[in-house]
Structure formats: C-alpha cells, structure tokens
C-alpha cells in the first residue's frame, strides 16, 4: 500500500489541534464550587474515578437540564426543556441562550411540563442533531451560527406522528438511532389524545448523515427496531458498535437493555443488562454514554451509575440533584452532567466515546 504522507500529516495536525482545544478549555476554566459525593460500590471504580475526584457545579438557574453535547471549538450545549431552550456554557462560566424555542412552536399555549428539545449529538460533519421532544421530530442544524437552517430528519412513522423523540446517537455508517417515549406530549401519558403511535419505540434513520440539507424527511425510510419497552429513553453504542444499549425510565421497570447490532443496522437478541428497580433513590434510567473501555455511564436512581461492560454496578456519581443525562467534553476525560436545575462536571481517568 502506498503511504499517503499528506494524509498522515493532516490527521496529526487535526489531532494536535483537538488536544490544544481540550487543554485550553481546562486552562481557561473558572473556579467552581464542589458538590455531591461519589459512592464506590466496587473497587474497580478506582480505575475510573481518581482519588479525591471533585464534582463541580458549573451553572444553575434552569428548570430541567438535559442533552449535554461538547462542541469541539470549546463549549457545551445542553437543553433546558421546560424553558424551551438550548443553553450554551463556556469554560469561563458564561451561560447564554443558544436557541429558543428549541421544541414546541405551536400557536396554542403548551400546557405540559416539557415544551423544549431533549437529547443532542453531532454527526461526522460536526452538525448538531437534536431530539425535538415537544416538536415531535428529529432535526439537524446545518451550522452553529445564529439562525442556521434546520433540516427535519424524521417526524412520522407509517403516516403517524412520532411521540416525542428523546435521545439520539449515530452509528459509524451514518445512520441515526433515537428513542421515542411520550414525555414531550402535554400529559406525558400513553392515553394522551395527541399520541398517534400505539407503542413507544426505538427507531433508526438509515443514511441520516447524507440527508440533503433542507430536504423534507423521508419518513418511508424510518425503521422501527424496538417496540416492546414501556419507556425507552437513553441510548448508546458500545465502543465497537457491536451492541446497542437502551434503558427504560419506567418507575416499575428501571432497566438497561443490551441488543446485538446486525450488519444491516437492525438489532436482535435483546438481553437485560442491569435492573435497578429495587433502588428507592430519586431518579430513573435516562441519558447514557460509554467510555473507550466499554463501561456505561447513565443517569439512574441517585445520580450517574457507572456499570462495567459485564453489567456490574461499580459506583454512582451523585451531584446532589436528580440526574437526567451526561456526556464527555474538554480533553475527553471530563464527564458533564445535567441534573435538575443545574450543570455539573467531574474529571475521570478513562476517555469517553464521543462524536
């Protein structure tokens, strides 16, 4: 094989630039107060959470924070769902509105508790992809500039409106997976008069990354891959993308499931990965991510649960508020946590898998 020196040089330059951005974010970060505690259930957590690790409270003054995503140029976006907005946080401590409204845009007043957007991710071109939640769609922003063009990627399945897309994740082939519980509906219940689908599903959009900017959604391509979970919520791939994790935020069944991913992108062989139904702490399985060694980090009862690839609960990161989601930022070893009214972070030993 002929060595392409130019490719190596450009790749090295890109990686070096990303490292500089991450390091700069850490160096310019303001000082933030410590909060919460870390519950060490298994000694294996010591390989992940360093001794003396501090949970920092970065921002508050929100109502229900969700969907954190690190933008590689050096800032974090997250959803403040009841206020129908996406917020922008910088390491200097600045907190501003990035987008409002981010979800519901109807003329009639929204009477439910969650009018905004929810989970977010980036495609391989760096474009922001958003679970529209109360907008009942999945959309992409073609740039991060103010007033950027929006492209709707999905809004109906077999002619029926989606419930309220909740969380999103891309596969390496450019397809997008998302969960669709009813939390963005005004009653948040299965008997909501606006609910058109008789189930709460997990869907796949083949070729989402290549969907043309501004083109209408090709809902005929939308694939239902899971339909038997009562409240599908958080979603993530294992580092090798052989498995898809989906959790259920049903108070009666606080579970994480693991599915084998087939070559065509569908899933099979769903197995219980972890069951936290017996936990009485505040919170439910919700947004989740994985690190590069395969451990799962998920919102759950009491905080962020760290679960080994073998399905063993190693410990819980407890910021002191009910947790909704988490994601990696800065140098890749910093876990940002959205919890109730606030935003937190903790620096860990193992880098995460991030877009």
What is the CATH code of the structural domain delimited by 31-347? 2.120.10.30
Please report which helix (H) or strand (E) contains residue 252, including its range. Answer: none
Please, what is the Cα angle at 217 between 285 and 200, to 5 degrees? 30
Q: Please tell me the predicted confidence (pLDDT) of residue 99.
A: 98
Q: Please tell me the predicted confidence (pLDDT) of residue 29.
A: 62
CA 313 to chain CA centroid, Å, is: 20
Please, what is the Cα angle at 218 between 217 and 224, to 5 degrees? 105
pTM for the model stands at 0.92
* pLDDT tens, residue by residue, 285-303: 999 999 999 999 999 999 9
Mean pLDDT of the chain: 93
pLDDT at 187 > cutoff 50: yes
* pLDDT tens, residue by residue, 245-288: 999 999 999 999 999 999 999 999 999 999 999 999 999 999 99
Q: Please tell me the predicted confidence (pLDDT) of residue 16.
A: 45
Read off the pLDDT of each residue in 57-81 and give the average, rounded to a whole number: 97
Q: Please tell me the predicted confidence (pLDDT) of residue 28.
A: 52
pLDDT at 117 > cutoff 90: yes
Q: Tell me the pLDDT band of 4, cut-offs 50, 70 and 90.
A: very low
* pLDDT tens, residue by residue, 5-40: 344 344 444 444 444 444 444 445 679 999 999 999
Kindly state the percentage of the chain with pLDDT values over 70. 92
Q: Please tell me the predicted confidence (pLDDT) of residue 30.
A: 79
Exposure string for 231-243, b = 16+ CB within 10 A, e = fewer = bbbbbbbbbeeeb
Concatenating the DSSP letter of every residue in 64-130 gives SEEEEEEETTTEEEEEEGGGTEEEEE-TTS-EEEEESSSS---SSPP-SS--S---EEE-TT--EEE
Read off the pLDDT of each residue in 181-190 and give the average, rounded to a whole number: 98
Rounded to whole angstroms, the Cα distance separating 104 from 133 reads 8
Q: Please tell me the predicted confidence (pLDDT) of residue 3.
A: 42
Partners of 307 in the β-ladder = 296, 313
pLDDT at 49 > cutoff 60: yes
């Amino acid at each position: 094989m002929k060595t392409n020196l130019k490719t190596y040089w450009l790749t090295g330059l890109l990686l070096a630039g990303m490292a500089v951005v991450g390091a700069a974010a850490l160096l310019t970060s303001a000082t933030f107060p410590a909060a919460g505690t870390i519950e060490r259930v298994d000694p294996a957590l010591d390989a992940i959470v360093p001794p003396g690790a501090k949970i920092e409270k970065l921002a508050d003054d929100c109502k229900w924070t969700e969907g954190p995503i690190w933008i590689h140029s050096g800032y974090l976006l997250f959803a403040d769902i009841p206020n129908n907005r996406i917020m922008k946080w910088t390491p200097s401590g600045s907190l501003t509105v990035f987008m409002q409204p981010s979800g519901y845009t109807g003329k009639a007043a929204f009477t439910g508790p969650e009018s905004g957007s929810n989970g977010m991710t980036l495609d391989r071109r760096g474009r922001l992809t958003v679970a529209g939640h109360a907008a009942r769609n999945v959309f992409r922003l073609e740039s991060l500039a103010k007033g950027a063009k929006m492209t709707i990627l999905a809004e109906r399945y077999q002619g029926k409106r989606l419930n309220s897309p909740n969380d999103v994740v891309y596969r390496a082939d450019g397809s997008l997976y998302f969960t669709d519980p009813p939390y963005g509906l005004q009653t948040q219940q299965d008997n909501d008069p606006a609910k058109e689908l008789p189930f709460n599903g997990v869907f796949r959009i083949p070729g989402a990354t290549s969907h043309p900017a501004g083109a209408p959604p090709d809902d005929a391509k939308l694939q239902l891959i899971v339909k038997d979970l009562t409240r599908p919520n958080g979603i993530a791939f294992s580092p090798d993308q052989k498995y898809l994790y989906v959790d259920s935020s049903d108070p009666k069944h606080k579970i994480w499931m693991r599915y084998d991913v087939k070559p065509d992108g569908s899933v099979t062989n769903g197995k219980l990965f972890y069951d936290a139904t017996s936990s009485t702490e505040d919170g439910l399985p919700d947004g989740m991510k994985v690190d590069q060694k395969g451990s799962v980090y998920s919102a759950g009862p009491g905080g962020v649960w760290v679960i080994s690839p073998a399905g063993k609960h190693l410990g819980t990161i407890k910021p002191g508020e009910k947790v909704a989601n988490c994601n990696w930022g800065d140098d890749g070893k910093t876990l940002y946590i959205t919890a109730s009214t606030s935003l937190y972070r903790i620096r860990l030993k193992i880098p995460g898998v991030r877009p």
